[in-house]
Structure 1
């Protein structure tokens, strides 16, 4: 991207009501068979149009073709039984009924490659594609086969690498791995979490990103955040290792978070997707609020490495709210862009 402060989203955007129940995670599809395939493509086109209308620079599929950012990828793998369910604690936060790993995990065929190719045909803009990271994948399963979180993570990293290489070949410019689990399992992150991520990006020539946030705006997450005190320093644990890693971009939650901005100093030199939009509220930010978050981040991130972004996915939000937030992100970024280029005319809203 040659443009200064190119904007993007962390991943998911709300689905249209005719495709799935709005404002719900794991919402079941309302269409079936051929109609569902067509409906997903229509929703992807619509999501792309929303991003373009809002002035987003690096666009995505809005995750329109998947029910959930982790589960949909796992559903396509062999070795996981979705009928055999166990209750596990997800990210040490809430209990969920999850599928069981019953044998060696393998990827029989591409998962998102056709969708990525379809998105590539719709636009000349840079496109970003999100995949779940190895550690976050193992955190949403019960493992009765490998009986080792680390072993399973290495297997998933190998599978993710196969998918990522094909996504790159389909024309994806940035492949992002979602690792909210990095904010919870600090010892594992440093023992093998970053290493498995490196395995997932092995051999890729496109840019790579890791997205680490405090989760969607769902009750379990917002309740957890209330227990974290006035300063959220979780990033401090993973940043030093990530700074030394070969991941190009680190995507973070900043706006309305109690994350001390100076922690960004620990990843100086990396490109940073700065979350300037709070996904846990229906309140639409003003461009000035977005600009303020970006200005604070610019103390620790070089302007040519700062990518304004959302804190996390926006799937659970109403479409009107998500659309307003995207416009605010663009307008706020434009304000700071003007300031950096010396002609400080306030962006039109």
Structure 2
């Protein structure tokens, strides 16, 4: 199956997910980030493809319109891409502070970084073959890649960001050729390193999307629903206004879609006004809680967003990836997301089909 010219691509309020879904327990340990694979060799290749097929099936069954791979073929949204690059030593690891929140053992840049071959293109082509719905693929953004490494070669975050942006652009162009309709760049670092984002982060992102015909998205959130992130959120006060730093810059950028956290957060909904004219992928599902949203809760979040974004530019989604959640919880949340979108679609006079 090829292309994304289906009913889903023309539907009002098309639903999507940001990134990861939980992996089946036979593939990787559940509810753990960076979980090691349970299989090896050819069995691992087959297992990843089986998990990807299942992720597509569940998204379609649960009413998701823009389908992704659920990151079933990768251990982590950043490091799986980096481990395929030359110039990065995964044996020589160092402990760094990730987004100024928690410590992690990360690989080290020891030489000039380069991409010797496509990283995700084969997996994206496999995803494309599973559905005629629009498909989305996520890549790490340049600034977030830097924040997940120790740099002993360039010793300049800006220089390394530009190298990564060029590599990401190469990958994105090949993903587009493989039939990907939306290419998403994950940049949670934009919610932390404001000066760097303004000075070179947005420009590096623009380099990563240069020349693409596929729609482009940037995802900026407050992180997975893990303790380090929820503890950090508890320090942010009654209003989370970090998007005030990035949204005005993104509104002027060439990025088509801005993905943000909303439901059960303290992000003021009126901040969406700062990206007026862009498509908004709105987080209407909380990934930091195992409580399943009701369709009415999702619908209420979407209604409030429609005060600040036109209905034909709104994409209901999740706040972030759902890898740390139990599978049943994550899949039931997908059902709630699509059910809430159907309620609002009907209110706007559009078919629920």
Q: Normalised by the shorter chain, which TM-score bucket?
A: over 0.9
Indicate the residue corresponding to 1:127 in structure 2.
135
Among 102, 123, 130, the alignment partner of 1:94 is 102
What is the SS of the residue equivalent to 1:227? coil
Q: Deviations over 1:36-69 (max 9, x none)?
A: 0000000000000010010000000010000000
Matched, 1:58 2:89: no
Aligned to 1:338, which of 330, 346, 349? 346
**2:289 alignment partner, one of 246, 269, 281:** 281
1:42 aligns with 2:44: no
Q: TM-score, normalised by structure 1?
A: 0.98
> Which aligned pairs between 1:1-349 and structure 2 lie closer than 5 A?
1-341=9-349
CA shift for structure 1 position 342:
6.9
Q: How many residues align?
A: 345
Distance 1:43 1:2 in 2: 28
Q: Residues 282-310 of structure 1: CA distance to partner in whole angstroms, max 9, x if unpaired?
A: 00000000000000000000000000000
Provide the C-alpha distance between the structure 2 equivalents of 1:286 and 1:28, rounded to a whole number of angstroms.
Answer: 33
Q: Which runs of 5+ in 1 are unaligned?
A: none
4+ residue segments displaced more than 6 Å:
none
Q: CA–CA distance in 2 between the matches of 1:7 and 1:96?
A: 33
Deviation at 1:8, TM superposition (A): 0.1
- d(CA) in 2 for partners of 1:306, 1:214: 20
The CA deviation string for residues 170-219 of structure 1, in whole angstroms up to 9 with x for no partner, is: 00000000000000000111111110000000010000000000000000
SS at match of 2:10: coil
* Cα-to-partner distance string for 1:143-186 (whole Å, 9 max, x where unaligned): 00000111100000000000000000000000000000000000
SS in 2 for 1:273: strand
Structure 2 CA distance for partners of 1:269 and 1:78, relative to 1, 3 Å:
same
